[in-house]
């Protein structure tokens, strides 16, 4: 840490001490106003040296948040229900079934879910190395695609082992929906006549 670039905690300490000094010392308050307005620097007194205020750091622009349309998620749920009876399986109270019955049902749901995902998405691993492989992450690695876990200290390069390769979607092939389609109806009720 240098005097011209104090740490975050140093800036907090400076702000709190300046706040109380401004309240109790009118001359100091006037000098701070002059500095803020681009005038001469604040005079220092012999009893207490006054550090020159650092220029305020430029605020990073707030990230733009985009509103997600639920239609694609609802469409995927509908496809998983149609092909794998996913919602029926998840909503079923399985306490009364044996492990063998649950396993048999899970196998069918798994096969249907897998077929649906493969039909409508191209999914690839984020990392090609096998789990357990040692890797080095250089500065500037994509933090949205790689999450560091464990004892994370310091800065890149980081050396560690892949505990999960991650997944990324490289292509989406959801069917187009008619304007009148109600995506909130994931599976229509069935009435047998």
Boundaries of every domain in the chain: 1-58, 71-172
C-alpha torsion sign, points 57, 58, 62, 63: negative
- The pLDDT score that the predictor gives to residue 42 is 47
- The pLDDT score that the predictor gives to residue 46 is 46
- The pLDDT score that the predictor gives to residue 134 is 96
Q: Roughly what angle, to the nearest 10 degrees, separates helices 99-120 and 71-84?
A: 130
Residue in this structure with the two tokens 């733009």, named with its chain if needed: 64
Q: Could you tell me the pTM of the whole model?
A: 0.60
pLDDT in tens, the chain (193 residues): 444 666 666 666 666 667 667 777 778 778 877 877 776 554 454 455 566 666 767 777 888 888 878 888 999 999 999 999 999 999 999 999 999 999 999 999 999 999 999 999 999 999 999 999 999 999 999 999 999 999 888 989 999 999 999 999 999 999 888 889 898 999 999 999 9
Cα–Cα distance for residue pair 108/74, rounded to 1 Å: 21
Dihedral Cα 110, 112, 117, 119, nearest 10 deg: 150
- The pLDDT score that the predictor gives to residue 64 is 83
Closest CA to 52 of 30, 25, 26, 31: 31
- The pLDDT score that the predictor gives to residue 52 is 65
């Amino acid at each position: 840490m240098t005097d011209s670039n104090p740490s975050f905690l140093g800036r907090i300490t400076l702000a709190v001490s300046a706040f109380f000094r401004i309240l109790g010392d009118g001359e100091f308050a006037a000098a701070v106003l002059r500095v803020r307005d681009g005038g001469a620097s604040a005079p220092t007194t012999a009893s207490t040296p006054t550090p020159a205020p650092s220029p305020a750091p430029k605020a990073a622009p707030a990230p733009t948040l985009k509103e997600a349309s639920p239609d694609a998620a609802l469409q995927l749920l509908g496809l998983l229900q149609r092909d794998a009876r996913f919602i029926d399986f998840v909503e079923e109270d399985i306490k009364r079934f044996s492990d063998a019955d649950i396993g048999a049902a899970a196998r069918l749901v798994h096969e249907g879910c897998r077929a649906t995902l493969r039909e409508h998405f191209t999914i690839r691993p984020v990392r090609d190395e096998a789990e357990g492989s040692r890797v080095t992450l250089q500065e500037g690695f994509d933090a949205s695609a790689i999450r560091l876990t464990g004892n994370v200290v310091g800065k890149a390069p980081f050396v560690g082992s892949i505990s999960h390769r991650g997944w990324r979607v490289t292509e989406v092939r959801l069917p187009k929906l008619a304007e009148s389609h109600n995506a909130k109806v994931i599976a229509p009720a069935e009435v047998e006549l």
